[in-house]
Amino acid sequence: MENIVQEAISAPVSPAGQFLSNSVLSLSVIAVLETEVPIDDSQTMSLLKNVFLPINPRFSSIMVTNEDGEQRWKRVEVRLEDHVTVPVFAAGMSSEFYDKCLDDYLSKIATEHLPQSRPMWEIHIIKYPTSHAAGNVIFKLHHSLGDGFSLMGALLSCLQRADNPSLPLTFPSTQSHTKKDGKNFSMCRTVHKFFSTVHNTASDFSSSIIKSCLIEDDKTPIRSGQHGVEFLPAGIETMTFSLDHIKQIRSKLGVTLNDVISGTIFLGTRLYMETLSPGSGNANSTSLVLLNTRMFVGYKSIEEMVEPNADSPWGNHFAFLNIPVPKLRDASGAENPLQFVFKARQIIRRKRMSSFAVYLTAKYLQLVSKFRGAKGASKYIHGTMKNTSMGITNVMGPIEQMALANHPVKGLYFVVTGAPQSLMVGVISYAGKLRVALLVEKDFIDPRKLKPHIEHAFDMIFKAACSRRTSPPEN
């Protein structure tokens, strides 16, 4: 165990951090940076010591339990060599050979637990050229260190703009492309909205509790329902979409980027299910969509995020939305692919804008934790994940290309590991592209078959949107 720095002041582990780091539930984030040039790792240790570790004390801390049974972060002396791995593969092989090596390596570390006896992060440097990149830098960080927003902010602190390091990175606008109607503020509409909010909140909160304890999705080609699925071998596959094409769809349909990509994933997944098991395209399937509960207006500096009462604080500030995956028959499937986008928008918008159930659920978890401990709350989260079919989480990346220690980053993707689900989807925008990564239960879901179905779904939605003359009315 690494030496504890006695004079360091320990900080309490947040409730969410405790929920995500115990024997019931342990989630990690794997982020992969694909470099344009071969990797020179001679600066690795100095960069970690001088740039990465100072970002946040949690990167130099372990979880300890004090005499009162309270979990706290405790600063330790970090042995950097224990956190960095440079695997060795056979030399002089083809890029396809190294593709397989990378796939196998990612599958291996995806199911390994980070040791709690040292700060819960690792870096793996793959110095072999694959068909996608000259090299790969893999970050594995435990979710208790922070959510995607926090960890992306930390990552950006280590990176610079490739074209001009003196300029700051910029991010896509989060503004919705929906029309505003002055009648929205009429008294009748306000009263209707109030009662609608009350009804939706009660309905969503109760269904969330039931989903965790009683009702589970059907077993389908994307949900094995196998006990301990989070410990089974996993596979990773990625695909890339043009942000310009997504913006065209967004503009044509009057929706958001999230609506477009959610609709695409839902349609592609249903088509895959129907291909493998006819009729399963209409099975009861639910997606957990991760919601950032901050007042998001763009990434902040690390200094701003750790300030008391920060608008965008460091840590885990998220909630899950239970989103029923539209059925092929209800959304007209191949005949009207745009219905998957509209249905995704309608459900997500109602749950996010018209319901406080996500916040009630957070309060409920705190109450459960108070009387049953962190593991009791973890069991609730674990039950919700186990009983649903997939999880989707997305992070917004920079518009400009980044560089890590003068290594231009060609591509970037991430997945969340440790969830008791057969399918997890990670989505990130970067440098004009949207990267979608699939983490699947190996030997149950074939990612190389699921990928073309999602790509085909996007093509269907793009063609249908481009042929549409007018935007639909707001729901």
179-226 pLDDT per residue, tens? 444 444 465 555 555 555 555 555 665 666 666 677 899 999 999 999
Low-confidence ranges of the chain (pLDDT < 50): 1, 4-7, 176-185, 294-303, 305-307, 310, 312-315, 473
pLDDT of residue 314: 44
SS3 196: helix
Burial code of 196-217, b = ≥16 C-beta within 10 A, e = fewer? Answer: ebeebbeebbeebbebbeeebb
SS3 341: helix
pLDDT of residue 121: 95
User: What is the 3-state secondary structure of 99-149?
Assistant: HHHHHHHHHHHHCCCCCCCCCCEEEEEECCCCCCCCEEEEEEEEHHHCCHH
pLDDT of residue 155: 78
pLDDT of residue 183: 46
Tens-digit pLDDT profile for residues 6-40: 445 578 888 888 888 889 999 999 999 999 999 99
Whether the Cβ atoms of residue 298 and residue 428 lie closer than 8 Å to each other: no
pLDDT of residue 144: 86
pLDDT of residue 103: 96
Q: Which residues pair with 434 in a beta bridge?
A: 241, 429
Of 216, 235, 269, give the one whose Cα is nearest residue 444. 235
pLDDT of residue 297: 45
- φ, ψ for residue 64 (rounded to 5)? -130, 160
pLDDT of residue 367: 85
Contacts of 85 (CB under 8 A, 6+ apart): 122, 123, 124, 125
Q: Angle at the Cα of 316 (from 311 to 317), degrees rounded to 5?
A: 50
Whether the Cβ atoms of residue 392 and residue 290 lie closer than 8 Å to each other: yes
Q: Which residues pair with 26 in a beta bridge?
A: 21
